[in-house]
Amino acid sequence: MGSLLLYLICLFMASTNVNAFPGFQKREAPFDQVRTRLNRHYQDAEEDEPDKYFHEATFHQHYDGRFGDKKLKYEERLSHLSALIQTYFSTMNDIGAETWIMHGTLLGWYWNRGILPWDTDLDVMVSERTLYHLAEYYNMTMHHYHIPGLNTARDYMLEVNPHYSEDGIDSSNQIDARWIDTETGLFIDITALRRNRTVDSAGAEDEADAMMVKDKHHYLYDDIFPLRQSTFADAPVKIPFAYPELLTEEYGEEALSKVFYEHHRFNIEKGEWKTLRFSELHGLSGLSRNTSYWGMRLPLKHG
């Protein structure tokens, strides 16, 4: 009886640890070890970066070539990206992970709580403690969702970079983890906010206030926390506390006011970006930055 009990305990530990400790390697999970609809991969494995873990697709840098084989059409991409962010935050909320939107995704939130229509990826951050928790218990886990808007079921994979615990700037491994759509290859880049243990940042009252990310971004603790509750792409999300200052520093003041960008015009009445027709683009060719369109500023608001 004792031997049987010991065997069952060992069997349980082995089964639960498959996802928790998948045998971190120096390369991305091999194509033949992940579930995919493709019979070949489209990964761009850069020979000049042998230590890089995450590799992008040969046809576009914002797709994972183990799962995607082509770029989605403009009309398709937005619905798939929306499902990507909705399933990510649903999973992270269930786990109790501390995570928030950043970079271009935060800029899209600022304009209309939605994804910028020309964007092809999404960016989020997690706390360092959350990253370690995800790496220990959720790495390489698959998450199954039924997506009403897509009328199909979809599997999403959480993959953690084995270099996640290495502090400091790392140009080859700036991305700590990814949330990947295993049908299209689209993904969310996940980076961890860490204490800056190597420098005393100007303006920080003590070293604990200085924060950093592997991609060379530096912050103060009060830039991020306390996080604000909001919505994005119809999903409950969190945003950094000092979002106006963060967006202005990263993109400039014009990014918070310019209503023409990437062949789109922001319709203030409807609160949405619309694709410009060719005739409209031609008419804008002589538009000066001094006109009211370029100088129009939207009020800062949150919630």
Are 142 and 182 within 8 A, CB to CB?
yes
Dihedral, 248, 280, 62, 150 alpha carbons, nearest 10: 110
Integer Cα distance of 253 and 218 in angstroms: 19
Residue 288 pLDDT exceeds 70:
no
What is residue 60's predicted lDDT score, i.e. its pLDDT? 65
- The tens digit of pLDDT for each residue in 127-150 reads 999 999 999 999 999 999 998 877
Residue 98 lies in a domain: yes
What is residue 300's predicted lDDT score, i.e. its pLDDT? 46
Residue 177 pLDDT exceeds 50:
yes
**Domain extent at residue 220:** 73-253
Tokens of 53: 């873990």
- Do residues 77 and 206 both lie within one domain? yes
Residue 272: how many CA atoms within 13 Å on its side-chain side? 5
Tokens of 12: 């349980």
Integer Cα distance of 288 and 285 in angstroms: 9
What is residue 206's predicted lDDT score, i.e. its pLDDT? 61
Domain count, the chain: 2
What is residue 290's predicted lDDT score, i.e. its pLDDT? 35
- Do residues 156 and 267 both lie within one domain? no
Residue labelled with tokens 């912050």: 219
What is residue 44's predicted lDDT score, i.e. its pLDDT? 59
Tokens of 93: 């909320």
Residue 157 lies in a domain: yes
- Do residues 248 and 262 both lie within one domain? no
Residue 132 lies in a domain: yes
Integer Cα distance of 255 and 107 in angstroms: 8
- Do residues 265 and 233 both lie within one domain? no
- Do residues 77 and 138 both lie within one domain? yes
- The tens digit of pLDDT for each residue in 212-257 reads 999 889 999 999 999 999 999 999 999 999 999 999 999 999 999 9
What is residue 278's predicted lDDT score, i.e. its pLDDT? 64
Average pLDDT, the chain: 80
Is the pTM for the entire model greater than 0.85?
Answer: no
For residue 21, give the 3-state DSSP assignment.
coil
Residue 52 lies in a domain: no
Mean pLDDT of 30-36: 51
- 56 band by pLDDT with thresholds 50, 70 and 90: confident
Across the chain, where does the E strand assignment appear?
99-101, 122-127, 141-147, 152-160, 177-181, 187-195, 210-212, 218-220, 228-232, 235-239, 260-261, 264-267, 272-275
**Sequence-ordered list of residues with C-beta below 8 angstroms from that of 63, at least 6 positions apart, any chain:** 42, 56, 57, 71, 184, 185, 186, 187
Residue 60 lies in a domain: no
- Do residues 126 and 235 both lie within one domain? yes
- Do residues 103 and 236 both lie within one domain? yes
- Do residues 150 and 195 both lie within one domain? yes
- Do residues 208 and 283 both lie within one domain? no
